[in-house]
């Protein structure tokens, strides 16, 4: 039954330990926070009924970079507590599953290895859950009623076979989509090959079409240590100690944007989810219970360098009609090189990007033409294709071949 209102709960707790090393003390606190947040939206029974098998999807976008301290992937405390809650509730199988990130596409490892590398495999198993990498299993083509980009879409069989699907994203800003919470997290459900498609300005439609067929029964946002700045990977940690829950994935995104000081309708994916009827993104139609948005809100730093023009005198960017998704790939490369301490050592790099891009009048030692629509430029250089090129780390590796010799 659809409603013209949605409910989102916000619960704040007092935590003293870290996702990397914690005791019963923090675990109990997080468990109580999740239980309370679920009670405030009507309880588990209303959200998942008497489900025998539940798929839980965390966010494991990348094995985190040093310095991002707990702000990139879903917190181990949240996963351990949630699996425990579901087992105690009577769920027979709790499958904690994630897809293979495009960041891991060109290496051997997949989500199973990421779970283990992050210590999450042990945490999930000791709570009674199982881990699953969607790259290992079957995807099933399902019809998309009302689909705009897809007539059929490939969905992991484990989601289709489960009785309930719970999404557990991390609360972060994002260089391409402004925020990444519940809706953006659906990118993880696509196979690694499908992930590459429509990873451009069509992206909001892509997420909306997936949500037409695989909507989480409930979304529980890990807002313990959040990420600001150049998300989803190069985030700076912000301690918020929040759990936010809702059965409406659009409403939870709207509330989470507001918590970060961002107008929900400044986020295209939320706007589209609202106008397409996936959920309610209008704060005036969302009942917020527990804490108020105002009492927990912090103005998060946004990913300003998604447009990298002028962000470094080592990498000069000349853009024509370039999209945010492509510009943000250069921004991510600049950010990563800065993290790695290599940016200042680069030697005279020029980037040509976008349709009808200008050619600089002086000669550069190292010219890169980035993105499919810049292919026909008359300037010569190294071409990195894709619309946009994925992952951004391939751009980093290409640039770093041009470090100045001391």
- Residues of the shown chain interacting with ligand SF4 in the complex, contacts defined by CB under 6 A: 200, 322-323, 325-326, 354, 371-373, 387-388
CB of 297 to ligand SF4, least distance (A): 33
Cβ distance to ligand SF4 smaller for residue 22 or 325: 325
DSSP track, 90-126: T-SEEEEEE---GGGTTSS--HHHHHHHTTHHHHHHH
**How many residues belong to the chain?**
406
Cβ distance to ligand SF4 smaller for residue 17 or 372: 372
Crossing angle of the two packed helices 268-275 and 203-213, in degrees rounded to 10: 40
Cβ distance to ligand SF4 smaller for residue 195 or 217: 195
Give CA 386 to chain center in angstroms. Answer: 20
**Looking at beta carbons, which pairs linking 160-163 to residues 24 or more positions away fall under 8 Å?**
160/214, 161/53, 162/51, 162/53, 162/54, 162/55, 162/95, 163/48, 163/49, 163/50, 163/51, 163/52, 163/53, 163/54
CB of 350 to ligand SF4, least distance (A): 16
User: In this structure, are residues 144 and 170 in contact, taking their beta carbons and an 8 Å threshold?
Assistant: no
Cβ distance to ligand SF4 smaller for residue 118 or 328: 328
CB of 184 to ligand SF4, least distance (A): 17
- To 5 degrees, how large is the angle CA 161–CA 166–CA 167? 120
CB of 169 to ligand SF4, least distance (A): 24
Cβ distance to ligand SF4 smaller for residue 321 or 360: 321
CB of 295 to ligand SF4, least distance (A): 39
Cβ distance to ligand SF4 smaller for residue 308 or 388: 388
CB of 218 to ligand SF4, least distance (A): 34
């Amino acid at each position: 039954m659809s409603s013209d209102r949605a409910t989102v709960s916000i619960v704040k707790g007092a935590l003293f330990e870290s996702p990397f090393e914690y005791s019963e003390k923090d675990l109990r606190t997080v468990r109580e926070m999740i239980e309370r947040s679920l009670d405030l939206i009507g309880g588990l029974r209303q959200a998942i009924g008497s489900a025998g098998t539940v798929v839980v999807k965390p966010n494991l976008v990348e094995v985190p970079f040093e310095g991002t301290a707990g702000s990139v992937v879903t917190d181990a405390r949240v996963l351990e507590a949630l699996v425990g809650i579901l087992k105690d509730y009577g769920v027979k199988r709790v499958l904690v599953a994630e897809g293979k990130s495009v960041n891991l596409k060109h290496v051997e490892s997949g989500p199973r290895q990421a779970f283990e590398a992050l210590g999450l495999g042990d945490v999930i198993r000791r709570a009674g859950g199982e881990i699953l990498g969607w790259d290992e299993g079957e995807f099933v083509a399902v019809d998309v009623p009302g689909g705009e980009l897809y007539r059929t879409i490939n969905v992991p069989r484990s989601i289709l076979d489960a009785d309930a699907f719970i999404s557990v994203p991390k609360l972060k800003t994002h260089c391409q989509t402004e925020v990444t919470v519940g809706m953006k997290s659906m990118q993880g459900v696509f196979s690694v090959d499908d992930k590459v498609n429509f990873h451009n300005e069509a992206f909001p439609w892509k997420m909306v079409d997936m949500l037409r067929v695989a909507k989480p029964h409930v979304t529980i946002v890990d807002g313990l240590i959040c990420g600001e700045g150049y998300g989803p990977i190069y985030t700076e940690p912000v301690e918020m100690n929040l759990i936010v829950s809702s059965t409406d994935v659009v409403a939870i995104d709207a509330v989470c944007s507001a918590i970060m000081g961002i107008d929900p309708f400044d986020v295209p994916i939320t706007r589209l989810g609202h106008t397409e009827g996936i959920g309610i993104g209008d704060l005036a139609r969302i009942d917020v219970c527990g804490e108020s948005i105002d009492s927990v809100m912090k103005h998060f730093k946004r990913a300003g360098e998604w447009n990298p023009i002028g962000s470094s005198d080592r990498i000069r960017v000349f853009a024509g009609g370039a999209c945010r998704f492509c510009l943000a790939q250069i921004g991510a490369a600049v950010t990563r090189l800065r993290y790695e301490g290599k940016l200042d050592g680069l030697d005279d790099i020029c980037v040509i990007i976008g349709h009808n891009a200008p050619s600089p009048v002086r000669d550069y030692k190292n010219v890169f033409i980035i993105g499919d629509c810049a292919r026909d430029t008359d300037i010569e250089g190294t071409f990195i294709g894709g619309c946009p090129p994925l992952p951004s780390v391939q751009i980093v590796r290409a640039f770093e071949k041009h470090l100045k010799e001391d």
